[in-house]
Amino acid sequence: MSYFIGLFFVAGSVFMTWKVTQLWRDADLVDHFMQTFSFMPFGKEVKRGEVRSLALTAASLWGVTVLLLLGLLDVDMTGPLTAVFAFALVTVLLSLLCEISVVLFNAPKFVVPPHMRSDPGVLAARRAGGQRQTKS
C-alpha cells in the first residue's frame, strides 16, 4: 500500500508539472485553469492569483513527494539523505511563502507565467476596485 501512495504522489507531481508547463506556454489556458478553482469560495482575484502561483504549487508538491518517499522508504537519515531532506523541506516552506506573495502582490515575477506578470496582486486589485467604487 505504501508503494501505491508513493507512486500516486510521484504521478501527481509529474502531472502537475506537465499542466504548469502548458500554462506557461499558452495564455489561452488561463480561463480553463480559473474554472478549475471554481470550488474556492473566494473572488476572481484570488483564483487568478492561485493560477499565477501554480509553478510554486508544483515545486511544493515535489518537495512533499520527496519527504513522503523518504518516510515511506524508512531510510537512515545520515549523510547525503539529510541534505535531501533539508532541501525538500526548505523547498516546501519557501514555495508556500512565495505562493502567498504571488497571490497577494504578484511578486516575485520570475515564478509567474510571462503572460500573467502584468496582473495586479489581490491587494492591488482590491484597492483599485475600492477606489473605482468611491469615484462613482
Could you read off the pLDDT of 11-66 as tens digits, one per residue?
A: 999 999 999 999 999 999 999 999 998 888 888 999 999 999 999 999 999 999 99
What distance, in Å, lies between the first and last C-alpha atoms of the chain?
60
Distance of CA 120 to the CA centre of its chain: 17
DSSP 8-state class, residue 39: T
User: Domain span at residue 48?
Assistant: 2-135
Q: Is the overall model pTM greater than 0.85, yes or no?
A: yes
Give the Cα separation of 86 and 84 in Å (integer).
6
pLDDT band at 3 (very low <50, low <70, confident <90, very high): confident
**CA-to-CA distance for 133 and 136, rounded, in angstroms?**
5
Residue with grid cell 508513493, as numbered in its chain: 6
